[in-house]
Structure 1
Amino acid sequence: MKLLRYGPAGQEKPGVLDANGQVRSLSALVDDIGGTSLLPERLAHLRSLDLSSLPLVPGVPQQDLRLGPCVAHVGKCICIGLNYADHAAESGMPVPPEPVVFGKWTSALSGPDDAVHIPRGSLKTDWEVELAVVIGQGGSHIAEADAMQHVAGYCVMNDVSERDFQLNRSGTWDKGKGCDSFGPLGPWLVTADEVPNPQALSLWLEVDGHRYQNGSTATMVYQVPFLISYLSRFMSLQPGDVISTGTPPGVGMGQKPPVYLRAGQTMRLGVEGLGIQTQRVVQG
């Protein structure tokens, strides 16, 4: 299933994409796409439905029908840094002996095609296409062998980053990662049953038609089952939590010389089987 949220910002309603690429309403069945609606038994019930019997939502998704972030009321958005060895190299940093963990404020999450705002005073706003994992069944101290049973599904995230705020302003990375609009999420949450191997997905990103990132989740340093198990040692994972798993090489900071986003540019990015995002860059 491809679960989604449609409508004006802050007023999104739950939906599902049918076989014809049209949106069907889930409002009579779930309050929203997030939290306990992502538990395994709830997803199994939705999968059993005849989608053609559900109300049709007018409009074409990502054209005249806006999509919001595909998960609502995210409790935690946990990000993994330097999780591709070649990206670590382009950043001039060693491959970490354990996953680098940081948070992206949930106020940064936005729709897959919403504008990305360059923060005031920013000269180094950058892009990062990533595979995001959404937790269904929560838990703590999850065994790596059991980790995939805790996944509700997967989606695309653009982990937009302000490099000066992140690296040169003292303290943690978080202040360069959580600016408003820095977390486009979606277009849809693809349930885990439709993604047999999350470590075999291509992912890519273009700016104004120039492809900067072209990688594969096969080259992750720390793969999805390990990340879920590892994170669950330090915090309980809860339904609807989002784990963004790192980016392949090709970010702006890694270009020679570095290239950063400017107002008026357009980013386009995707992960194989999970959809495509398009964002216009504007001055905040």
Structure 2
Amino acid sequence: MPIFKRNPFGHILFLKKWLIRFFGIVSHGRYRRFNKLQIEGSEIIRNLPETNVLFVSNHQTYFADVAAMLHVFNASLKGRVDTIKNVGYIWNPKLNIYYIAASETMKAGLLPKIFAYVGSISIERTWRSKGQDVKRQVKMSDISNIKKALDDGWVITFPQGTTTPFKPIRRGTAHIIKTYKPVVVPIVIDGFRRSFDKKGLIIKKRDVLQSMVIKEPMKIDYENETFEEIVKRIQIEIEQDPSFLKVITPEEYKLQEDELNKKRKFWS
């Protein structure tokens, strides 16, 4: 690789590779030692096309969710099956994986700016800014950057746009799907909210089972399905539909978190 070769966003790939290597090694123990990550469906990753893939997932922390996905994706591409054992897979990472994040989050300090260089597509949220509800127009440059990332590789998005569970899916995700027709792969994560602080930088609790389930790509009729139908289907696929609350309410679940953790067993 030429040392100054850049991706479509102007990032130097040689530098990006070394950042991924460094943070990959540093963060590996967060999913293998202090807590343990249970993975299902990682073989799906190896069968995906090189570009125009959109991963949709629920969201629990600002950064730990994405970091775990980068570990799982790269481990799978190097032949691991549902494991991130032996961090050697990170030495030659896939460099065209991007993730959509709020620009205000990625500008809040030196570390987020470094994480942004690793692969963030920073967008300006139309409904929320600095903790306040707002209403503003979608920036066309944000849409064009998402297209640029899909044309170059894979994109991770959290369509609820928040770490709060069971919030509605934003219609913008359906617009992206209908417009650019990507392969859409749902992912369901759990345990990250219990393991880490809200930013996903500090380990809040140890011996928590984290899980990541990668599902088969969705079969979408890009021409005939409506935005509302796609939104509803994503909501169900990432298990954030209100129907999943019929057994236990969020309040009850929160009260039982400690007891649930005691009953959890690590993946063997």
**Shorter-chain TM-score above 0.5:** no
Compute the TM-score of the two structures, normalised by the length of structure 1.
0.27
Higher strand share: 1
Compute the TM-score of the two structures, normalised by the length of structure 2.
0.29
Higher helix share: 2
